[in-house]
Amino acid sequence: MILKKMPVRFLIIMVSISLLSTVVKAQADKIEGLWYNDVKSGKILITKDHDGKFIGKVVWLKEPLKNGKPKVDELNEDPKLRGRPRLGLQVLSNFEKDGDNKYTGGTIYDPLNGKTYSCKITWKGKILDIRGYVGIPLFGRTTTWSRAE
């Protein structure tokens, strides 16, 4: 009798776990996940931070080394930060969802010039329009990131 109940219990547990993981995935926001930058030289993982805002960190670099050593944030305007590794660097900060497909109020850091810009993100399915700007969005530049998953 016990042996017959075991497969049923196992099945119920497995179905429950499957449903729970589906619910958890459904709660993830559409911009969360891995994205290639515009030239596919890096992957950025976008997640929701502990404060509910979205952030993005570099988790993969096509060329992670420079002169045989890990690339660092050598162009940062703050000399104290120039030795931090580029891999793991947070490049998107403080984004809040603003409607169905827009994320605003955040900044983007460009390690290629060491500058931080105001930024807005527009989700368009498998691509993100990333608009960095100074002052107002009219005076900015848009790049397109593509889903890496």
Does pLDDT of 3 surpass 80? Answer: no
DSSP 72: B
Write down all domains in the chain, each with its CATH number in brackets. Answer: 29-147 (2.40.128.520)
Tens digit of pLDDT for each residue in 85-111?
999 999 999 999 999 999 999 999 999
The whole-angstrom separation of Cα 24 and Cα 60 is 25
DSSP label at residue 11: H
What's the pTM value of the predicted model, to 2 decimals? 0.80
Tens digit of each residue's pLDDT (9 = 90 or more) over 128-146: 999 999 988 888 999 999 9
